[in-house]
Structure 1
Amino acid sequence: MTEDRPVSLPKNRIFSGAQPSGSMHLGNYLGAFRNWAKLQDDYECIYCVVDLHAITVWQDPQELIRQTREAAAAYIASGVDPKRSVLFNQSQVAAHGELAWVFNCVARIGWLNRMTQFKDKAGKNREKASAGLFVYPNLMAADILAYKASHVPVGEDQKQHLELTRDIAMKFNNDYGREVFPLVEPVIQKEGARIMSLRDGSKKMSKSDPSDASRLNLTDDADSIARKIRKAKTDPHPLPDSVADLAERPEANNLLGIYAALSDQSLEKTLAEFGGTDFAPFKKALVDLAVAKLSPITQEMSRLMNDPAEIDAILSEGADRAAALALPVMEEVRETVGFLGRRAR
């Protein structure tokens, strides 16, 4: 057992990331990217395009490269500033994979068996799922703890993974008798954090949905945004007057929630503005608002995607900064575990 010593922690360091698989969409923007930009005012922020996570299911290599650049462009267009924050893609920093292996040896199979996201993604083909998909939460823990992040912005569907990260940190510290890792805290964004499908208000808006009409992609032009909102599923009744009336009306709840989030106002205020009206005039107002808010993002993403060298340079510089932050953490981990390192000559 190694000698105990105080843990060295940044007090306000954020880590977060998104997979570069499928199109970045409104749910990503309202649930994550926009909030990441705001967090830059109060935290030291590390934002990652998690391409190692993406290959837990098969990806076309050339498409993965394109989607990695698109994800980075979406972050930047949404307000993430590569000069204020560290922005990189995961596979460029070896610490993620190395620490994930250590955590594979710390986490228990029983813990991973309880992960609901694996059950959802593997479905009935559990035995055919990749081992990477099964140990995905250990890599997520490594992403966070390689930088000793103090906070992680998470949606409700990621809270279980964050709890596992805390369990892994606690077990590592207990096993080796040294407080190496912090117990990271969640930053849960409530407003606009869960955007549902435009075709089914009971399902989350998802890049994996086979119907492109189910989501507003951040690359959609104004005509596509208008068409998708006009065709969004509704019910035959006028818009409700109160939040209580939304419980049994998922499509109305979703569209009103999107309007409230895009306009930075409460759902109650949105209901006061549109309650009792038909969907048609409300959808027109939503189209105007969505186009006004999303068009600048689409345009900036297009500019960046037309200059891949700029994106690659940003990610490379960010990877150098991330690797420098992870280096002392990994040196501490190697010493703690008992890995023999190279001696200076």
Structure 2
Amino acid sequence: MALSMRCNVKSVFRFVHKSNSHRRLFKAGKATGTTSLPKAQVFSGIQPTGVLHLGNYLGALESWVALQDKYSTVMYSIVDLHSITQPQDPQILRENILDMAASLLACGIDPTRSILFQQSQVSEHAELSWILGCLTSMPRLRHLPQWKMKSKQKNEGSVGLYTYPVLQAADILLYKSTHVPVGEDQIQHLELAQDLARIFNNQYGEFFPEPRALLSGTRKVKSLRDPSSKMSKSDPQKLATVFLTDTPDDIVLKIRRAVTDFTSEVTYEPESRPGVSNLVSMHAAVSGQSLEEVVRLAEGMDTGQYKNVVAEAIVQKLQPIRLEIQRLRADRGHLESLLAKGAEKAHSLAAPVMTEVRKLVGFY
């Protein structure tokens, strides 16, 4: 059986240096005594935009969980200030914040090993964003792809949408973060944070480190109905996306209806067989096996039989997460308490940084 592939899927992070073309690779997982890594401050944020899906989990959250065992200071923020660049129903936003907290906790984010907090509860984010905004040119922001895309979709864009990359930079620099786990589509926004760190340092003296990107090596999960596109929670086709809260029956139905092709053999050929290859990639990711192992195990199966195997593997992976989300959602007070404690920890790190920033800028 032919298996065409360029590389194995492994849980890997690569440090991306803007001024250096080579990349240093580190396996994700628990740090060992033989691992020599620079002391790092890791920060990332996620918008409270509803239920997470399988692509979010495999593409980001598994990596986030692994980073908790790799670095001493890891911060994850539910960035609600970013979410209001688009119209929000206040009650739904409040529920989405708690739902996101429940989802992150259920996926393995541990408040004893990282700091999980709500962005708007730490006012220093907005203050630093204003200061950095005064160092940012309008042409620099106009070149960012998200502004071009989202403003065209709405035919107009708010000032908040235009300047939210500056707030992203403030989120990162506020904690003097050295590393940021991001997706490929966020690299240009991280470059803005790097640029603003340099601009601030040139004007006021060396202060902010230039943060580096941590890119997850996990393959992107594609839509079950259109494997040329990423899996998305906003996909209008209900069978296109596997959500973390889907029941086993939901998952089985969606995988059975997944688009494949007219060849019954199971192979991994992303260019010529994107639908089947998407199933193979998901199966490998949720089972912890390599692509070669998954394809070898599928020998003798047709794609219909293989879909049942993939569905079962996804159900086994997501069922504990779904049940934990349900349990956490039922205890609103517990979630609010955890976020409040996280905000206190975040504020204790942000306050001294802003004190120094105010002095450097000349506020006192």
What TM-score comes out, normalization by structure 1 length? 0.91
Q: Which of 123, 147, 150 is equivalent to 1:94?
A: 123
2:304 corresponds to which residue? 280
Change (3 A) 1:61 1:144: same
| 1:217 shift after superposition | 0.9
Give a deviation string over 1:287-329, Cα, whole Å, max 9, x none.
Answer: 1111100010000000000111100000000000000011111
Q: Which of 99, 117, 121 is equivalent to 1:70?
A: 99
Structure 2: which amino acid aligns with 1:279? T
Q: Does 1:237 align with 2:266?
A: no
2:213 corresponds to which residue? 186
Task: Please state which structure has a larger fraction of its residues in helix.
Answer: 1
Q: Which of 48, 68, 72 is equivalent to 1:40?
A: 68
Q: Does 1:114 align with 2:158?
A: no
Structure 2: which amino acid aligns with 1:180? F
Aligned alpha-carbon RMSD (Å): 1.6
Once residues 208 and 333 of structure 1 are traced to their aligned partners in structure 2, the CA distance between those partners, rounded to angstroms, is 39
Give a deviation string over 1:6-49, Cα, whole Å, max 9, x none.
Answer: xxxx9311111211113211111111111111111111210111
Do 1:240 and 1:246's aligned partners in 2 also have CA atoms closer than 8 Å?
no
Once residues 121 and 360 of structure 2 are traced to their aligned partners in structure 1, the CA distance between those partners, rounded to angstroms, is 24
How many residue pairs match? The answer is: 326
Q: Which of 233, 243, 266 is equivalent to 1:207?
A: 233
Do 1:22 and 1:208's aligned partners in 2 also have CA atoms closer than 8 Å?
no
Range 208-217 or range 44-53, more displaced = 208-217
Structure 1: which amino acid aligns with 2:217? K
1:3 corresponds to which residue? none
Q: Does 1:23 align with 2:47?
A: no
| 1:124 shift after superposition | 4.9
Once residues 214 and 307 of structure 1 are traced to their aligned partners in structure 2, the CA distance between those partners, rounded to angstroms, is 31
* 3-state SS of paired residue (2:239): helix
* 3-state SS of paired residue (1:212): coil
Do 2:266 and 2:303's aligned partners in 1 also have CA atoms closer than 8 Å?
no
Range 222-231 or range 298-307, more displaced = 222-231
Do 1:47 and 1:87's aligned partners in 2 also have CA atoms closer than 8 Å?
yes
| 1:239 shift after superposition | 4.2
Do 1:225 and 1:287's aligned partners in 2 also have CA atoms closer than 8 Å?
yes
Do 1:238 and 1:275's aligned partners in 2 also have CA atoms closer than 8 Å?
no
| 1:208 shift after superposition | 2.2
Once residues 123 and 274 of structure 1 are traced to their aligned partners in structure 2, the CA distance between those partners, rounded to angstroms, is 44
2:20 corresponds to which residue? none
| 1:268 shift after superposition | 2.7
Range 251-260 or range 58-67, more displaced = 251-260
Amino-acid identity (%): 47
Once residues 135 and 18 of structure 1 are traced to their aligned partners in structure 2, the CA distance between those partners, rounded to angstroms, is 17
Do 1:48 and 1:88's aligned partners in 2 also have CA atoms closer than 8 Å?
yes
Q: Which of 212, 225, 249 is equivalent to 2:273?
A: 249
Range 129-138 or range 275-284, more displaced = 275-284
* 3-state SS of paired residue (2:206): coil
Q: Which of 262, 265, 283 is equivalent to 2:286?
A: 262
Q: Identify unmatched segments of 5+ residues in structure 1.
A: 1-9, 341-345
What TM-score comes out, normalization by structure 2 length? 0.86
Do 1:151 and 1:186's aligned partners in 2 also have CA atoms closer than 8 Å?
yes
Give a deviation string over 1:144-186, Cα, whole Å, max 9, x none.
Answer: 111111111111111111111111111111122x111111111
* 3-state SS of paired residue (1:214): coil
Structure-to-structure mapping, 1:320-339, within 5 angstroms:
320-339=344-363
Structure 1: which amino acid aligns with 2:358? R
Q: Does 1:149 align with 2:173?
A: no
Q: Does 1:289 align with 2:313?
A: yes
Once residues 75 and 58 of structure 2 are traced to their aligned partners in structure 1, the CA distance between those partners, rounded to angstroms, is 19
Q: Does 1:103 align with 2:132?
A: yes
Range 231-240 or range 132-141, more displaced = 231-240
Once residues 105 and 166 of structure 1 are traced to their aligned partners in structure 2, the CA distance between those partners, rounded to angstroms, is 16
